[in-house]
Structure 1
Amino acid sequence: MAALVQMVRQGKALYVGISSYGPDRTREAERVLRAEGIPLLIHQPSYSMLNRWIEDGLLDTLEELGAGCIAFSPLAQGLLTSKYLNGVPDGARAARGGSFDTKLLSDANIERVRGLNAIASDRGQTLAQMAIAWTLRDSRVTSALVGARNVAQLDDSLGALVNLEFNAEELRKIDGYATEGGVDLWRAQSKAA
Structure 2
Amino acid sequence: MKKFLCVIFASLIHGSFYSQAAKKALPCYDFSEVLKVEPTLLYKPHLDASKSFGVKILQDSKTVLKYINNGKFHKIKKSGKGYHVQKLDYSRAWMVSKGKLMLEKMGTRFSKDTKGNSFTVSSITRTLEDQCRLRRVNSNASLGISSHNYGNSFDISYVRFNGVLKYNPKMEAALEKVLKYYYNLGRIYYIKEKQQSCYHITVRNY
State if a TM-score over 0.5 links the two structures: no
Structure possessing the higher radius of gyration over alpha carbons: 1
Structure with higher strand content: 2
Structure with higher helix content: 1
Q: How does the TM-score come out when normalised to structure 2? A: 0.29
Q: How does the TM-score come out when normalised to structure 1? A: 0.30
